[in-house]
């Protein structure tokens, strides 16, 4: 019985829509690159789980310049998130929590937004 419930839950999780928030993406792009400190060509790089029929929440985005994100020799898209995190000596989860906290405090949606996103992450 428990195996069936887990299988249904994991199947349903594939179809849960990720949280989208264009305001958060614009907010993140206002900060310098978390890797090199550049303020030029900042992108809101989504750092989160993805795969077949799986997208990631906008609340996983971090400010990363184009060179560090896509273009440079050690760019995130060239070496993958795990290697990139080690190479840049970053803690993605801590950075995401920090930017999420700043955003929800600034936007006044702290109680509703932050807690709902945290609960969704724990359930995933």
Asked if 68 and 36 count as a contact pair (C-beta separation under 8 A), the reply is yes
Tens digits of per-residue pLDDT, 45-90?
998 876 655 678 899 999 999 999 999 999 999 999 999 999 999 9
* Alpha-carbon span 55 to 18, nearest angstrom: 6
Count of domains forming the chain = 1
In a domain, residue 124? The reply is no
In a domain, residue 29? The reply is yes
Asked if 88 and 76 count as a contact pair (C-beta separation under 8 A), the reply is no
CATH code: domain of residue 84: 3.30.40
In a domain, residue 107? The reply is yes
In a domain, residue 14? The reply is no
In a domain, residue 8? The reply is no
Confidence of residue 35 (pLDDT cuts 50, 70, 90): very high
* Alpha-carbon span 14 to 9, nearest angstrom: 9
Instruction: State pTM to two decimals.
Output: 0.72
In a domain, residue 100? The reply is yes
């Amino acid at each position: 019985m428990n195996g069936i419930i887990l299988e249904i839950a994991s199947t349903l999780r594939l179809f849960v829509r990720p949280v989208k928030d264009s305001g958060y993406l614009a907010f993140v792009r206002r900060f310098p690159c978390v890797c090199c400190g550049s303020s030029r060509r900042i992108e809101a790089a989504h750092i989160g789980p993805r795969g077949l029929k799986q997208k990631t929440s906008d609340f996983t985005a971090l400010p990363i310049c184009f060179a560090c994100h896509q273009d440079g020799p050690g760019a995130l898209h060239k070496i993958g998130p795990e290697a990139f995190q080690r190479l840049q000596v970053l803690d993605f989860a801590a950075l995401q929590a920090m930017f999420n906290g700043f955003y929800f405090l600034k936007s006044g949606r702290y109680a509703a937004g932050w807690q709902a996103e945290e609960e969704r992450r724990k359930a995933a």
